[in-house]
Amino acid sequence: MVLGKRILIGVGGGIAAYKVCEVVSTLAKAGAEVRVMLTDRSQQFVTPLTFASLSRHPAYTDQEFWQPTYSRPLHIELGEWAEVLLIAPLTANTLAKLAHGLADNLLTNTVLASTCPVLLAPAMNTDMWQQAAVQRNWQQLCSDDRVHTVGPGAGILACDRVGAGRMAEPTEIVAQLRSLLYTQGRRDLAGKHILISAGGTREHFDPVRFIGNPSSGKMGIALAQAAQHRGATVTLVHAPIDSQLLSMIPQVQQVAVISAAEMHQAMLTHVSQADWIIMAAAVADVRPAHISSEKLPKRSLPQSLPLEFAPDIAAALSQIKQPHQRLIGFAAQTGEIVPPALEKLQRKHLDAIVANPIDQPNSGFGSEQNQAILLDRHGQQTIVPPCCKLELAHCIYDFINALG
């Protein structure tokens, strides 16, 4: 999603500037063209040489800005070059300048000379962030259609304060940059509420043993990210998922469950609010017929385990969904993936289904990439070749949008 893309990064004067090193390094390694410009104060925290080394290109400072060393004004060249512009950390000082259209350095002049989407990652002390003047400037800046935001989060700050103002983590920033490059800043899901299920359910037969599957929940996380980046309100009902993955979607409502029965109840609770329901979870088909309340000794383990069917959540939701709602299923398959996916789509009365192979390299459970064939009930098919799961998530939303 970033290969060959032109990403301009403005670094503000705050201790969180060190986090931007990881952002630059990640993007450059992924094949993006990265240019970095530093304010005077940011150089007190990270040097231009550091960013030049990480980006494989000289970093820009106000020293270059005020010297006639370029054929055209530097801020014009950079503003026209950029496909997306990140400002991180966004300090209270730079925030105030941007909110009022002031331009007294390379960074602020370049913002005014550009037309691409701008991603802001604020970072400051909690009391500073909560000041009425700062919040007024923030709200004014966020009213600009070009402006997109990531964070701030809450946690332990550099001043030892615990509270809001912590800059978003590099993984979260990079994910939103990827989305902006894909959508070019579109917020076409604004006003929609999207309900997503994710992860692999666990069906216990005693407190420590269960029937499960290898689902990591990464596809569900990517779907939640992409929807939020495009302006939607998102609720994620998830089976056990690694906490680091969940930390990548701090603004998403998260409902934790374990079993298919718990997921069934949670989806029924939240479905009335949703415009689109996406069943990305790997839900168990069967569960133990009997559950022990205590751990079974090895000698007491049954030679055979009686099973019963778990709730069919997608089928249940299809019976109660409203005309304006769209219900999307997933079909993880081996071998020929289209016929069983179409059968599932028709049997469960879905609006569309995502058929993805789990027996192909770099696809399916636990992988960073995926591939799929998107199918609707009218016979429309879209093939999505191998790509990262965030890109597949955006392709899925494009497909749903086209359903009408």
Name which of 101, 190, 185, 105 is nearest 146 in CA terms.
185
Are the beta carbons of 375 and 352 closer than 8 angstroms? yes
Q: Cα–Cα distance between 13 and 124 in angstroms, integer?
A: 10
**Token reading at 291:** 């559950």
Q: Which residues are catalytic?
A: 159
- Terminal alpha carbon distance of the chain: 26
CB burial of residue 239 (10 Å; 0-12, 13-18, 19+): buried
CB burial of residue 129 (10 Å; 0-12, 13-18, 19+): buried
> In this structure, what DSSP letter does residue 44 have?
G
**Token reading at 134:** 């700062």
Name which of 38, 41, 69, 70 is nearest 54 in CA terms.
38
Annotated binding site for CTP: 285, 295, 330, 344, 348
The amino acid occupying position 19 is: K
Per-residue b/e over 300-329, b at no fewer than 16 CB within 10 Å? eeeeeeebeebbebbeebbeebeeebbbbb
CB burial of residue 18 (10 Å; 0-12, 13-18, 19+): middle
Are the beta carbons of 178 and 185 closer than 8 angstroms? no
Name which of 233, 226, 223 is nearest 278 in CA terms.
223
Q: Cα–Cα distance between 334 and 357 in angstroms, integer?
A: 6
Distances (CA, A) of 226 to 179, 180, 341: 7, 10, 24
Asked whether the bond before 89 is cis by omega within 30 degrees of 0, the reply is yes
The amino acid occupying position 199 is: G
